A and B are shown apart, each in its own frame.
Chain A
């Protein structure tokens, strides 16, 4: 086992996210010490994943986003990074639980499906704006991932209040008003980041016509447009409360599905030299 191997680091990070999820879940049964242990596991998982992505990035001198595996890993990393900032800032109870769960599913799923980690064929170095565009897009997906989590928390709390349920997870979730507030901020932030990403991508497309397939352009614009519409409807109080939360979860599910067409151009058999570089893939 090579501890400097990026996949080993990413595996360790993913397993730690899973452990963080289980420990935080167990802490709901009143074992306060387990919650602290969950936070440590989450922090450790983040460090391992950051190191893994850093080693990967050294190959391309950029954030590694060349295939589905790397994109899912980067999304999980973004979601945890945001959780580490947002949770203490807004005192959002249980966000760790949901963020760790999402990160574990994304990262472990990406590691299990070996086909996701096919290397992209070697290409000439492109415009740095393309890398910037991709990094922003993936970061915005991380924001939307977190938004889906807070929306899911909203739906659970809302359902509990409607169904006259109390105790258990309902008493531990953040308040409806808190979630409504953070959801508003997250969608504004996510759409802003994605808008810059799309703008950069469009400008690059204009500069290099035909460099990207129309399917990819169409799907990317559809995701951006969908989130922008949800944001506008919220701004005008036409989509608030539970329907807004449901829309955010549905949009993120759609955004995840959209990764397939968005990354389709790199889903090709690995080049021989690439296989030599990554013999464990």
Chain B
């Protein structure tokens, strides 16, 4: 395919990602939203690209381009002169692809195969947002339109036909899945967050993002509890009042730095008698543990500690990784077909 009917377009990709660059280097390569408009302009005018698309996330900066020549010199020059990314640094911590390899890479990225957390879906949204930006700036032309539309289809295919995205691989999301299996709709569940540690915050945030609304944050420091509660639009209370809040709770996250257990089986037994046959989900993220392991023996109580969550996350990750080769082979086949149509 060619704009003028004589010369087929050259598809190029210049980028840097978590696979080629450490975090401190990626920080230097990152393109701010304010710089993006200028970058598109410079790429179109100074690098003389027919089409271009910038994919800019925390894990990657990639420039997809359609040019008359199979040469990234113009892109290197723009990045170095206009945006302060040294050419030698980019050559060392980046990568350059052309032709069918670019199609393969785009498919892999959209499907989450190239992500740090293999199979994650956030990247597809980021690719779609980048495509929208490129389209709005009239930077994407017929080749990139085709490439990215097909990338979205490939990502959807991978999601529905492989186990690449099955199971959660972060502790917070594993906890959310388990909470959903115990309590159902999280909107109806009462969540108690004991402690203001980072692990507890992240898990509570994951539960909130899946619908949890009735939250109380308990801490020894009331100011800290109030501050964190404000971020969740939640209530706050003193950790010493835990027993008062427990009868109404469905999910309790233990994330305090307490040296001994906050909750023992003997303390929980009378509380269980005060509530109807409602299941109790306890998530112990603390080390040393906040909940005595004996509480798991009580009827209708499900207790998961850090190791339990990590084991499930690792198992899910192993299942995802087992799908990588199969998915990659299928996507490469689709990429080859698309490249044949583009150049045919």
The chain A residues found within 8 Å of chain B, CB to CB, are: 30, 32, 157, 160-162, 164, 166-167, 170-171, 173-178, 180, 184, 234, 237, 240-244
Contacts and interface: CB of A to CB of B under 8 A. Distances in A.
A166 B277 contact: no
A243 B277 CA distance: 12
Given A177-B183, A180-B278, 11 more contacts: A162-B302, A164-B308, A166-B167, A166-B177, A166-B312, A166-B316, A167-B166, A175-B180, A176-B183, A237-B277, A240-B299
Nearest to B311: A164
Contacts of B279: 176-177, 180, 241
16 contacts: A30-B161, A30-B163, A164-B311, A164-B312, A166-B167, A166-B178, A167-B166, A176-B181, A176-B302, A177-B183, A177-B250, A234-B277, A237-B276, A237-B277, A241-B277, A243-B299
Contacts of B183: 175-177
Given A164-B308, A166-B174, A180 B277 contact: yes
Nearest to A241: B300
Contact of A161 (B178, B273, B276): B178
A174 B185 CA distance: 10
B180 A167 contact: no
B320 to A, nearest CB: 11
B273 A176 contact: no
A226 B174 CA distance: 40
A23 to B, nearest CB: 17
Interface string B309-323: 001100110010000
Interface string B292-330: 000000011010100010011001100100000000000
The binding surface of chain A is classed by DSSP as: helix
Contact of B167 (A167, A176, A234, A244): A167
Contacts of B181: 157, 160-161, 170-171, 173, 175-176
Interface of B: 160-161, 163, 166-167, 174, 177-178, 180-185, 250, 273, 276-279, 299-300, 302, 304, 308, 311-312, 315-316, 319
Nearest to A178: B184
B279 to A, nearest CB: 5
A87 to B, nearest CB: 15
A136 B277 CA distance: 29
A262 B312 CA distance: 49
Nearest to A179: B184
Nearest to B277: A240
Nearest to A162: B302
Closest 5 interchain pairs by CB? A175-B184, A240-B277, A241-B300, A178-B184, A176-B279
A167 B169 CA distance: 12
A177 B167 contact: no
A157 B311 CA distance: 18
B311 A237 contact: no
A161 B178 CA distance: 8
Nearest to A164: B308
A174 B178 CA distance: 12
B160 A167 contact: no
A240 B300 contact: yes
B207 to A, nearest CB: 14
Contacts of B160: 30, 32
A111 to B, nearest CB: 37
Contacts of A244: 277
Q: Which of B276, B300, B308, B316 has the most CB of A within 10 A?
A: B300
A175 B166 contact: no
A120 B252 CA distance: 60
A171 B184 contact: no
A170 B163 CA distance: 16
Contacts of B250: 177
A145 to B, nearest CB: 22
Q: Which of A170, A174, A176, A180 has the most CB of B within 10 A?
A: A176
Contacts of A242: 299
A108 to B, nearest CB: 32
A174 B163 CA distance: 21
B284 to A, nearest CB: 14
Contacts of A176: 181-183, 279, 302
Contact of B277 (A171, A174, A184): A184
A237 B273 contact: yes
Contacts of B302: 161-162, 176
Nearest to A32: B160
A167 B319 contact: yes
A175 B182 contact: yes
A170 B184 CA distance: 13
Contacts of A164: 304, 308, 311-312
Nearest to B278: A177
Nearest to B166: A167
Contacts of B174: 166
A171 B174 CA distance: 11
Nearest to A180: B277
A165 to B, nearest CB: 9
B315 A166 contact: yes
Nearest to B184: A175
Nearest to B167: A167
A242 B300 CA distance: 8
Nearest to B301: A241
Contacts of A161: 178, 181-182, 302
A128 to B, nearest CB: 40
Given A174-B184, A176-B181, A180-B278, A167 B299 contact: no
A187 to B, nearest CB: 12
Contacts of A162: 302
